[in-house]
Amino acid sequence: MALARNEASLYSAPENLFGRPEVGWAVYAPKVAQTAGATRSADTAAFARAAARWQGAHGLPATGEVDAATLTAMKGEWQSARPFVALRARGVCPDAPPAVALATLRPEESDGGRPLLLRRGALEAYRRMVRFGRRTEPALKTRPDLLRVFSAYRSPARDAERCAEEHNCQGVVRAACSAHRTGLALDLVLETAPGLAVDSSVDANRLAMARSFAYRWLLADAGRFGFVNYGFEPWHWEWTGERP
């Protein structure tokens, strides 16, 4: 029963996890699998069994069906892993770090070779993570474009300019108080849908990223280097080694 319902809802159930209506939960399936400890895809009985175990351990009916209550509970777990979100829940928008705390990425580390900035600790953690990935995974070694950074530290003034320019600071695609102001957040190049940009948030692009090897590798291994993901944006990662 759970298997059939998961197969049916994966691409068809109405969802609204992060303030924007979506159809299906396929974009979140790899993250759901990681959270539940599932090693098989969402359209398998093994996945449903892992989901049932997670549900039972978190006070939910252990049906194995990935329903709205399960996704909401998992979202709470994902968000609680982000120190920035904990601050925002208390109404705090952290100050930007001093310039001396920031370091510049090397041209080969950033998309287009732009001089992007991160806090020094976050940059070193990023470098360790990428070195590890390229050393251990041929698919990352042969694609040097993957895992490059296309956005890092953004000053509060620059974010305010973007809000004014785009009239889009509702907190989903663009936030009035962005995690990027901390110098701990970075956006990584992943595989994209044909014709779409690395930062396009349209559902087809997010789904292509969620299905990509690079994203699944990040879900499995980025945590050992202190990075956590914002579930709505597969490309967005935050380093937890320092307080925002």
Looking at the fold, whether 103 and 71 belong to one and the same domain comes out as no
At residue 67, φ and ψ (nearest 5 deg) are -100, -175
Looking at the fold, whether 117 and 187 belong to one and the same domain comes out as yes
Q: In the chain, how many domains are there?
A: 2
Looking at the fold, whether 112 and 208 belong to one and the same domain comes out as yes
Whether residue 48 is contained in a domain is answered as yes
| Angle of helix 68-80 versus helix 29-36 axis, rounded to 10 | 80
Instruction: Tell me the β-bridge partners of 214.
Output: none
Looking at the fold, whether 117 and 165 belong to one and the same domain comes out as yes
Q: For the chain, 244 residues long, give each residue's pLDDT as a single digit of tens.
A: 899 999 999 999 999 999 999 999 999 999 999 999 999 999 999 999 999 999 999 999 999 999 999 999 999 999 999 999 999 999 999 999 999 999 999 999 999 999 999 999 999 999 999 999 999 999 999 999 999 999 999 998 877 676 666 655 655 556 679 999 999 999 999 999 999 999 999 999 999 999 999 999 999 999 999 999 999 999 999 999 999 9
Residue 225's domain comprises 96-239
Boundary residue ending a domain (56, 80, 104): 80
- pLDDT for 167 equals 59
Whether residue 88 is contained in a domain is answered as no
Looking at the fold, whether 231 and 175 belong to one and the same domain comes out as yes
Whether residue 129 is contained in a domain is answered as yes
Looking at the fold, whether 129 and 69 belong to one and the same domain comes out as no
Boundary residue ending a domain (51, 80, 109): 80
CATH of the domain at 156: 3.30.1380.10
